[in-house]
Structure 1
Amino acid sequence: MKMSQGVEWMMHSTALIAQTPDGAAMPRRFLAEHYGLPEPYLAKHLKALVRAGVLTATPGPSGGFRLGRPAESITLLDIVEAIEGSSPPFACLEIRQQGTGALPPEACRRPCGMSTLVQRAHQAWQASLRETSVADLVKTTPNSVKRANKAKLAQLSAR
């Protein structure tokens, strides 16, 4: 499964937002600088997460982004679908009914084996992302990175 860079950006950004001190909002500019990302493109993805309820946005000089619900209840699938949409990655075009090897329609009443296997793989991929929360993602962050983030976030909340 290929995902856009926006998914990677938002997984990292959401995990960082999950580490903010209670009540603090994460400014878009801070995220852009922290990860070296173009702010306008980052803004587009942050808006998608707000629309999906993954994040909330507060406007103004002391505004920014917060988790829309507890980190334990935001799944990686929520993030992927907010950025990429929820359409399946494979659409069977029924090529087995085309060309010189075309099968009659009555031989194609069930999905082909290829379609079935790809759909099963997609469902397994979705299940894995659905079982992994932002809180799980934060837990996998190395302690040295968490400490560095904590120090940067403390400066942010002191502003």
Structure 2
Amino acid sequence: MELDSVDRRILRALQRTGRISNAELSEKVNLSPSACHRRVQRLEAEGFIKNYVALLDARKLNCPTTVFVEITLSGQADEVLEAFEREVARVPDVLECHLMAGTADYLLKVVAQDTEDFARIHRQYLARLPGVQGMQSSFALRTVFKTTALPV
């Protein structure tokens, strides 16, 4: 399915305000409410819209520390990668896990209360992940900007 300019306007608006009413959205994108609703349903059905979520404030939830962890595995065999990916997906403090090209095999985005809490996460979870040969952690000092919006 090809996206036209109206589809792109709908996607941009929904990325900014996912709880916008269909009436407001149709006004923003210059469509009738019924046509707008059909377009949104089609974008959902085609998989362009995966889900609707609430973005939470990490500071208010006492998880203000972001740590990026580079993981190097002992090997690249499928079973090593699969075992690591299966177990890392179970770590509640890991927000993202990316298979990388470069010096590290994986890059994790982890949230913690503070350095002590990260030490707990490291001991309890990260150090026990299968196939890990090396780990390098970098603490974010400040988030300059953050978005979940894709360029549409």
TM-score, with length taken from structure 1: 0.30
Higher helix share: 1
